[in-house]
Chains A and B, each alone.
Chain A
Amino acid sequence: MPGRMAGRRALVTGGAGAIGLACARRLLAEGADVVLLDRNADALSAAAGIGAAPVACDIRDPGAVAAAVTRAAGLLNGPADVLVNSAGVYRIAPLLDLTPGEWDDVLAVNLRGTFLAGRAMAAALIAAGRPGAIVNISSTAGLVADAAEPSAHYNASKAGVLALTRQMAAEWAPHGIRANAVCPGVIDTPMLRMMDDPAAGAAYLRTGVPQGRLGSAEEVAAAVVFLASDDASYLTGATVPVDGGVTAI
């Protein structure tokens, strides 16, 4: 649907990551102007080749996030009215081995970063009196537990993103800002660890994923851009799994 996002100003955090970059590509393809945020400056400058403007930013740092959102508004000629919170890290550790430092590191990016970027974007939009849409990348790991690949800090951060999304939806609906979450399942990106053991991974796809395959970053991006578009004009606070049926339970 070319033009569905024409005139929209989009900010994508974690913009150099697989899902963030796929979201940026789709937003650009549908007519939006896009700014990419990422803390990895090298990956960011490579990613910016798709036609988006890069802004280096550590999403954990409130001052850096505020400065980046202001810088993005300058690059976009106005405050961003689409925010995709895609910055995230994934770590594996059984609960008994999980250190408080590791816990804090994951929560700082995945949950605190989503809060900081969402708050900065919404504050600018509300000040300008304009509507907008936020799409937060959560995970099916925020909905179900997994003993085989233990990551309580990641799972808790992603469940936290769902609660945060609902609160954004409730508080900012009167300002015309919608907030929704996408929960990717097993998606074919460098972050995925499930296929490190190809035989075990293939067995899981056969038995644990009704559609029997990995999803693609492009399929996640398609859901994200749908939620940001006017086709989703009456959706807010919703959780949308993109998981091949894993949570069809």
Chain B
Amino acid sequence: MRAIVTGAARGLGAAIAGRLARDGADVVLLDVSADVTAAADRLAAGVAGAGGGRGQVAVGLVADVSDEIASAAAVDRAVGAIGGVDVLVNNAGIGGPDTDVTGTSLAEFRRVLDVNLTGTFLMCRAAATVMIGQGSGGAIVNMGSVFGQQGVAGGAGYCASKAGVALLTHSLALELAPHGIRANTIAPGNMATEMHWDELRSRAARSGTTFDEQVELVKASVPLGRHGTGGDIAGVVAWLVSPDAGYVTGQTIGVNGGIWFS
């Protein structure tokens, strides 16, 4: 399996790349941050240390997925590095400004749409073109959000971008099914990531509460009683890109500890 994971320098993306590598994939880690090179090196060393051997590859590439030329070039380089692409995981995303619509600038709104939605479109377009050319099928997993399934005051741009990702993915699934390529969305809930902690810091500041109080509020709202982890998401990605999910396409899989049923 040859996989590209975006937003892979840290957080969910790093956990997904790690799981796919442990399951035997050659992985290209893509990120806008130069830290991705070190993340890929750590992963390569970890997999080799765990007896992965087999000449498995983990490569880091720096690119902004919202840049049409840079994202296409990154897919080209990824294909060069691992010999093709069978799996694309679009995990790169930003949290948006945490402001009401009436207080959100056009630039801020566009930025979250550019990265989360347009970036996903650009990466899908480039990678699906390669997959179709290979003629051997493939799997795409796009990261939506529970906040693409329900609205949040102060999060309109983020919610709209993630709802867009889900319907982009459904449409893509219909177009790619004849080529044996499946496309699904994962909709995480509240995850233990820096993006979520930033959001809670912002909420704490706005409401005159502490960060710890915000963390406890979220945990209390989750039926399973905890934040999700990178491992929680990686397990679902591993299933969706495997033959075990061979008849699953065009779906949004909620991974949210029970806060939203879809």
Q: Which residues of B contact A212 (CB under 8 A)?
A: 177-178
Contact pattern, A 211-242, Cβ under 8 Å of B = 1, otherwise 0: 11001100110110010011111111111111
Q: Which residues of A contact B256 (CB under 8 A)?
A: 234-235
Q: Which residues of A contact B258 (CB under 8 A)?
A: 169-170, 173, 236-237
Q: Does A244 contact B (CB under 8 A)?
A: yes
Q: Which B residues contact A (CB, under 8 angstroms)? A: 170, 173-174, 177-178, 189, 223-225, 228-229, 231-233, 235-236, 238-239, 243-251, 253-258, 261-262
- Report A128-174 residues with CB < 8 Å from chain B CB: 166, 169-170, 173-174
Please tell me if the beta carbons of A236 and B257 are within 8 angstroms of each other in the complex. Answer: yes
Chain A: which residue is nearest B243 at the CB level?
A222
Q: Which residues of A contact B246 (CB under 8 A)?
A: 219, 222
Contact of A232 among B173, B236, B248 (CB under 8 A): B236
Contact pattern, A 85-124, Cβ under 8 Å of B = 1, otherwise 0: 0000000000000000000000000000000000000000
Complex CA gap A155/B186 in Å reads 26
Q: Does A199 contact B (CB under 8 A)?
A: no
Tell me whether A234 and B255 are in contact in the complex, defined as CB-CB below 8 angstroms, given that A169-B261, A240-B248, A241-B248 are known contacts.
yes
Interface of chain B: mostly helix, strand, loop or mixed: mixed
Complex CA gap A166/B256 in Å reads 13
Contact of A243 among B224, B247, B255, B257 (CB under 8 A): B247
What are 17 A-B pairs at a CB distance below 8 A? A173-B225, A178-B224, A210-B177, A211-B177, A212-B177, A215-B247, A226-B239, A235-B236, A236-B224, A237-B223, A240-B248, A245-B173, A245-B249, A247-B250, A248-B170, A248-B173, A249-B170
Q: Which A residues contact B (CB, under 8 angstroms)? A: 166, 169-170, 173-174, 176, 178, 185, 210-212, 215-216, 219-220, 222-223, 226, 229-245, 247-249
Please tell me if the beta carbons of A239 and B261 are within 8 angstroms of each other in the complex. Answer: yes
**Which of A178, A232, A233, A245 neighbours the largest number of chain B CB atoms within 10 Å of its CB?**
A245
Please tell me if the beta carbons of A223 and B248 are within 8 angstroms of each other in the complex. Answer: yes
Q: Which residues of A contact B170 (CB under 8 A)?
A: 248-249
Please tell me if the beta carbons of B247 and A244 are within 8 angstroms of each other in the complex. Answer: yes
Please tell me if the beta carbons of A247 and B225 are within 8 angstroms of each other in the complex. Answer: no
Please tell me if the beta carbons of A234 and B173 are within 8 angstroms of each other in the complex. Answer: no
Question: Which 8 A-B pairs give the minimum distances between C-beta atoms?
Answer: A248-B250, A231-B235, A173-B223, A234-B232, A222-B244, A210-B177, A215-B247, A237-B261
Within the complex, the shortest CB–CB distance from B244 to chain A, in Å, comes to 4
Within the complex, the shortest CB–CB distance from B241 to chain A, in Å, comes to 12
**Which of B189, B247, B256 neighbours the largest number of chain A CB atoms within 10 Å of its CB?**
B247
Complex CA gap A247/B244 in Å reads 19
Complex CA gap A247/B177 in Å reads 13
Within the complex, the shortest CB–CB distance from A6 to chain B, in Å, comes to 16
Q: Which residues of A contact B248 (CB under 8 A)?
A: 223, 240-243
Please tell me if the beta carbons of B236 and A231 are within 8 angstroms of each other in the complex. Answer: yes
Q: Which residues of A contact B250 (CB under 8 A)?
A: 210, 245, 247-249
Complex CA gap A229/B174 in Å reads 29
Please tell me if the beta carbons of B223 and A170 are within 8 angstroms of each other in the complex. Answer: yes
Q: Which residues of A contact B229 (CB under 8 A)?
A: 234
